[in-house]
Chains A and B, each alone.
Chain A
Amino acid sequence: MSTIMIVEDDPKINQLLQNQLEKYGYHTVNVEHFDRVMDVFTEVRPDLVLLDVNLPKFDGFYWCRQMRQESNCPILFISARDSKMDQVMALENGADDYITKPFDYDVVMAKIRSQLRRAYGLYAPQEGERTVEVAGLKLFLERMELSIHDNKVELSKKEVLLLEALMNQYPRVVSRERLLEKLWDEQFVDENTLNVYITRVRGKLKDMGLEGAVETVRGSGYRLKAVWEDGQ
C-alpha cells in the first residue's frame, strides 16, 4: 500500500483528498503543524507527496527543495496559482508535476498513479486491482473486463467508463450530461455517440444474459438494474 503525504493548509480540501485517496486504497498522512513538514516527511518516508504552494511560514517551493535533499519520491504540486512562472518554479525546485485548482479527482488520481508507476514500477501489486462491484457483477477497471459468476466479457475503454459511472451510482440514475462528461476524454462525444455506446454496453450485458440491466429513465438518464438478482 502506497503512503501519500498531503501538505495542504485548507482543512476541507485536505480532508476531501484524504477520503478520496483512502477510497482507492492509499494510506494518507497529513501535516498539522506547518513548521514541522520535514519532521513528518522524514518520519513517514512517503511514497508520494501532494504539496500546496501557498502555505503558512514557508511556501511549497521551499519544502520541495528540502524534501529533494532527502528523497527522490514523486512530488506533485497542487495550487491555485496557474501562471507559467509558478509551474516553472515548481519544476525547477524538483517537483514532478503541477496540478492547478480547482481540479478533478480523476486528474489527481491519474497523475498519482502514473507517478507511482514511473517511480516504483508496477503499481498493481501495491494497490491491488481496482474493481467496482454491484451484487456480484464485477468490473475490473485495469483489465477492462466485466464478470458475473464465471461469465466474462471484454470491454473497450469507453464502455468501462460508462459502466463505472453506472455501477458507482447504483441504484441511482446517472444523467446523460454526466455520462457525456465522463466519456469526453480527448475526443469529444456527442449525444448520438453516447447512444451508440449505450447500445454496445447493453449488447455486451445481453451476451452475459443480463438483458434490461441498463434502464432508460425518460428525460433524466440511465440506471443500472440488478436484473440478475431476481433470476438467481
Chain B
Amino acid sequence: MKLFLRDQWAFAAFFLVQLILLLLIFALDGYWNESLMIYAVFLSVFFAGAFMVVRYLTHRSVYQRLSNPVESLEELMQTHGNAALSRALDETFMEHYRLYKEQLHAYENKQRDYTTFIQQWVHQMKTPISVIHLLLQNEDDPTAESVREEVDRIKRGLETVLYIARLDRFEQDFLIEPVTLHSLAQNVLAENKRLFIRNQVYPELKVDGHWRVESDEKWLSFVLTQLLTNAVRYSAGKSNKVTIRAYELGPSVALEVQDYGIGIPPEDTRRVYQPYFTGENGRKYPESTGMGLYLVKEICGRLHHGVELESEVGVGTTVRIIMSAVLPTLQDRKKAES
C-alpha cells in the first residue's frame, strides 16, 4: 500500500495540477459557475479515485511482492495476476530463477564430480598402500618399521580426506542402528594398535559390554579414531595412559576419551572446533591439521550426538560424546528381573 502510494503520488499531483489548470482557464475566460465547477471537480476526482483503486486492486500482489523481502526462491515462482505489468514481472522473475537454477546446477555438478574424483582417487591410492603394507609385513628391520610408520600416517591422512568428502553426502551414507560400544572401541583400538605401541601410550578400556547406543558404526568409529589419535599424540612422552570409558549421563550414554597429556590452553578451548585451527599445541606438533575436532563436532552434529570438552594445561584433556542409549534388550530386561 505504502509503495503504491509512493509510486502513484506523482500521478495524483499531476492530475490535481491539471484539474486546477483547467478550472483556472475556465474562470479566467469569465465562465464562473460555482456549482458546476464543484460538480466537475467531484466527478473528475471520483473517476481518478476509482481508477486508482482498480489499479491498486489489480496490481496489489505486484506491490506486495516488491515491498516484502524474498524469503525463498519459490516465492519468485508465484504468479502476480493478469495485468500486463504483472505478467512482465512474472516473466522476469522466472527468467532470473531459471538462470540462477542453471548456475546452481552447474556448480552442484562440478562439486559432485570433484567429490567423486576425490573418493576414487583415495581408493586408487589404497592399492599401492596395500602393496607396501603387504611387502612390509614380513620385514622386521628398523627401516621397515619406519616405513610402516609413514604408511600408517598416509593411511590416516587418506581416511580423513575420504570422510571429509563423504561429509558432503552424509544423508546418503549413514545408517542409525544399535551400536555396542565395547566392541566398537575394541575394533578401533585394534586398528590403531601401532599408533599406541609406537608412542608407548596404552589404552585403558572401561566400557561395560552392555552399553549400546543409537548411532552409525562407521562414523562413530571415525570419531573415536580422531579422539584417540589426538589423545595419543598429546600424551606421548608425558603420560602412558589413555582412558576410554562409557557411563550413564541422565537419559543418555556418554563415551569419554580421557588423556593425561599436555592439555589445551584455556584461550584455545573455545576455538578447537573451528576448521584448520591448531592453536598453541599445533605449533609444537607439526602433524596437527586442525581438522580432527572440527570433523568430530561436524559428524556428531549430524548424528545428533553432543560433544563436550574439558581440558587443563599439564593435566590432560577429556572429550565426551553424548548419545542416546538403546533401550535395554529383552534379554537384559529378563536378566534384571530374575
| A positions within 8 Å CB-CB of B | 10, 12-13, 16-17, 20, 54, 80-85, 101-105, 168-169, 172-175, 177-178, 180-181, 184-186, 188, 190-191
Contacts and interface: CB of A to CB of B under 8 A. Distances in A.
Contacts of A177: 145, 194, 197-198
A16 B135 contact: yes
Contact of A102 (B133, B145, B200, B218): B133
B189 A188 contact: yes
Interface stretch (B121-129, B275-283, B295-303): B121-129
B175 interface: yes
A80 B123 contact: yes
Nearest to A191: B200
Interface in B201-230: 202-203, 205, 217-218
A7 to B, nearest CB: 15
A-B CB proximity, top 7 nearest: A80-B126, A102-B130, A102-B133, A190-B202, A101-B130, A80-B123, A16-B134
B17 interface: no
Contact of A13 (B134, B155, B202): B134
B209 to A, nearest CB: 12
Contact of A184 (B127, B175, B190, B217): B190
Q: Which of B140, B166, B205 has the most CB of A within 10 A?
A: B140
B186 interface: yes
Given A181-B194, A186-B190, A188-B189, A102 B129 contact: yes
A188 B196 contact: yes
Contacts of A180: 193, 197
Given A83-B173, A175-B145, A180-B197, A105 B131 contact: no
B218 A84 contact: yes
B140 A172 contact: yes
A188 B242 CA distance: 12
A181 B190 CA distance: 9
B68 interface: no
Contacts of B140: 169, 172-175, 178
B137 interface: yes
Contact of B127 (A17, A80, A84, A169): A80
Contacts of A82: 218
Contacts of A83: 166, 173, 218
Contact of B130 (A103, A169, A173): A103
A86 to B, nearest CB: 10
A176 to B, nearest CB: 8
16 contacts: A13-B131, A54-B123, A80-B123, A82-B218, A83-B166, A102-B130, A102-B155, A105-B138, A175-B145, A177-B194, A177-B197, A178-B145, A180-B193, A181-B194, A186-B186, A188-B189
Contacts of A17: 134
Contacts of A104: 133, 137
